[in-house]
Structure 1
Amino acid sequence: METRRSFIKKTVLGGAALSAPYIDVFASKSALNSTAPKISLAQWSLNRAFFKGELNAIDFPDIAKNSFGLNAVEYVNAFYKEYGKSEKFWNQLKGKANAAGVKNLLIMVDDEGELGNPNNKERSQAIENHYKWINAAKLLGCHSIRVNAFGQGDKIELKNSLVDGLGRLSDYGAKENINVLIENHGLHTSDGKFMTSIIKEVNNKHLGTLPDFGNWCLNAKWGSTQNDKCTDMYDPYQGVADFLPYAKGVSAKSYNFDANGNETFLDYGRLLKTVKDSGFIGYIGIEYEGERLSEPEGIKATKALIEKVWLNLD
């Protein structure tokens, strides 16, 4: 299986109330009372098929709708590298999504440099490298891009660099009305309190989070907690609780399932209760990353589990 650095290594939530500035991003107040969860599909769930060329990336909206009955999608920039600056391509992809009745939510951005690089020149280059994806997100009608908040140095130096890098990128995003979302992706990015302290210091409503059910490993880049092999893990329930007040999406990571359709490593009941109790009204994105089931089977199993658990929560 290819992975998400080049392409990312294989990759679990306590409650919190959403702050008012973030509510309007997702839906009207009436949606808060809806009994059914809003579910989207993260493109990474089909990464093997896309990397092998078995699926065409421009067909992703149709695949989400026709194969899985999902009407919202989250793109991964790795499948569109050659089109980063192509306005024609993004308009074409938006047309495909519109024709399928699919909502474009965000683009997950990897391999564009460290936004917390201590070297000013290299950090500035990383910031500029992300501009094209903000532009693409705007053309697609997305609300956000997801970034990696990696960097170097001790906690003080790292924080200063990230405040600058994420702050400047968020300023650019604000001009285009596109949010910049931090995902827990290992090392310090999986330290919920550290990352939210950066968000507070930046103090830009366009800087938020995309909490992932997995990826809470503090001593491994990308933070995979699959198979319980992490030796230093931030408490996942605390981590999601830390991130939820700033969340503009939630990534429902899944790996494997038992005979009853429950995730074997992640407590979906506890995770989704944390999300629901927080008042979150955005989309919950399926991100299947397992190997026992095929990608389509894993997506369907995750969708069924989210729906079953959500409807049985208090």
Structure 2
Amino acid sequence: MERRNFISNATCSIVGVSLLGMYACKQSNSNQVSLNDKDKLISEITPTVKLSLAQWSLHKMIVNNTLNPMDFAQKAKELGFEALEYVSQLYIPEIKKRGNTNQAIMDIATELKEKSDALGMHNQIMMVDLHDGQALLASADQSNRRKAVENHKIWADATAVLGCHSMRVSLFGSLEEDLFVSGAVQSLKELCQYAAKKNINVIVENHGYLSSNGALMVKVMKGVNMSNCGTLPDFDNFCLKRKENELWSTPCIEEYDKYKGVKELMPYAKGVSAKSFNFDNKGQETTIDFLKMMHIVKDAGYKGYVGIEYEGDELSEEDGILATKALLIQVTKALTS
């Protein structure tokens, strides 16, 4: 599953590909952050931007069994975060270990809540991914949509137990625009009605194919027209079509303009996902203009948490998370100075 400019006045030296080398920088103007070591970056107070950590940033460690997903809150706190965004698929092995039942999901949510509370962490979002056999919310087939809604209800329950404000869903289904919109609107209305009883939102991330068409998603939001329905704009994930029509693994052959898409989704945003991949020797993300993106977020009047979702392959997951944090601090200070 694909879950995918630093202010240029800094004087930095690179020591291999280590974060310490990348951010061993002198403070050269009022917008610069002096980042001499990891401890300084981890403890950096950022009053101008509230940062949460998306669990997908650590998915390699979790899949490789070097990090227990049940310890997500502890790891996030060690990295200097105060807010958490969970990913459902990272708990599938634990759910299966406990009997693969809805009760297992609820028990895990309860334990995660206890752990986050003990650490003083704030749970923000439960990202619900497509699991084995899960139906599609935007399917043209009504029975398939109904099954998808039912499958999501247990995750709405778990989201409420966690104390998150939102459950993130993915909209896949018909590739015909009219059928996609009508199916998505019907499913989201039903799911939002259920979620409203739990006092949570249902938010849609641009996650590929028609869900990455910003203008189409505006139609969906207007069609649902419910206060607890919204979006989770992701800085990337704007691939409209992949080779061989695969969801994730093949190269993208048609892409929606990411800046246009984020701008279209921001009026409905109840979260923001700052996707990052790799960085150049000045700390700039090499594929996304973070200054431009955060300008769009700021202009929309968004005041909530910005979630860091690192997916790069040059830095370790921990170093990539901290590099993204440094970039967001820098860019936000530039926008507010």
TM tier relative to shorter chain? 0.7 to 0.9
Q: Which residue matches 1:110?
A: 129
The residue correspondences of 1:116-265 to structure 2 (distance < 5 A) are 116-220=138-242, 230-265=252-287
In the alignment, structure 1 residue 63 sits paired with structure 2 residue 63: no
Q: Which residue matches 2:117?
A: 98
* Equivalent pairs, count: 281
- Kindly indicate whether the alpha-carbon contact (under 8 Å) linking 1:215 and 1:224 is maintained by their aligned counterparts in 2: no
Q: Deviations over 1:89-130 (max 9, x none)?
A: 322211100111110001111113210112211211110000
In the alignment, structure 1 residue 294 sits paired with structure 2 residue 321: no
Off by >4 Å, runs of 4+ in structure 1:
221-225
Shift of 1:298: 0.3
- Kindly indicate whether the alpha-carbon contact (under 8 Å) linking 2:57 and 2:321 is maintained by their aligned counterparts in 1: yes
Shift of 1:63: 0.5
Long gaps (5+) in structure 1: 1-7, 12-33
In the alignment, structure 1 residue 78 sits paired with structure 2 residue 94: no
TM-score normalised over the length of structure 2: 0.80
**Mean Cα deviation higher: 86-95 or 249-258:** 86-95
CA distance in 1, matches of 2:297, 2:248: 21
Of all paired residues, the percent bearing the same amino acid is 44
TM-score normalised over the length of structure 1: 0.85
CA distance in 1, matches of 2:114, 2:316: 29
- Kindly indicate whether the alpha-carbon contact (under 8 Å) linking 2:3 and 2:56 is maintained by their aligned counterparts in 1: no
- Kindly indicate whether the alpha-carbon contact (under 8 Å) linking 2:2 and 2:249 is maintained by their aligned counterparts in 1: yes
CA distance in 2, matches of 1:153, 1:35: 43
- Kindly indicate whether the alpha-carbon contact (under 8 Å) linking 2:3 and 2:237 is maintained by their aligned counterparts in 1: no
CA distance in 2, matches of 1:125, 1:181: 19
Q: Deviations over 1:50-79 (max 9, x none)?
A: 01111111110010001x100101000012
Q: Which residue matches 2:108?
A: 89
Shift of 1:217: 1.3
- Kindly indicate whether the alpha-carbon contact (under 8 Å) linking 1:186 and 1:224 is maintained by their aligned counterparts in 2: no
Q: Which residue matches 2:19?
A: none
Could you say which structure has the larger radius of gyration?
2
C-alpha distance 312-222 of structure 1, shift in aligned 2 (>3 A): farther
C-alpha distance 10-92 of structure 1, shift in aligned 2 (>3 A): closer
The residue correspondences of 1:2-41 to structure 2 (distance < 5 A) are 8-9=1-2, 11=4, 35-41=47-53
Shift of 1:153: 4.6
Q: Which residue matches 1:20?
A: none
CA distance in 2, matches of 1:245, 1:151: 24
CA distance in 2, matches of 1:122, 1:71: 38
Q: Secondary structure at the match of 1:180?
A: strand
CA distance in 1, matches of 2:164, 2:299: 26
Q: Which residue matches 2:325?
A: 303
Higher RCO (CA-CA < 8 Å; seq separation 6+):
1
CA distance in 2, matches of 1:99, 1:153: 45
Q: Which amino acid is 1:176 matched to? A: K
Long gaps (5+) in structure 2: 5-45
Q: Which amino acid is 2:103 matched to? A: K
CA distance in 2, matches of 1:288, 1:167: 31
CA distance in 1, matches of 2:57, 2:108: 22
C-alpha distance 203-251 of structure 1, shift in aligned 2 (>3 A): same
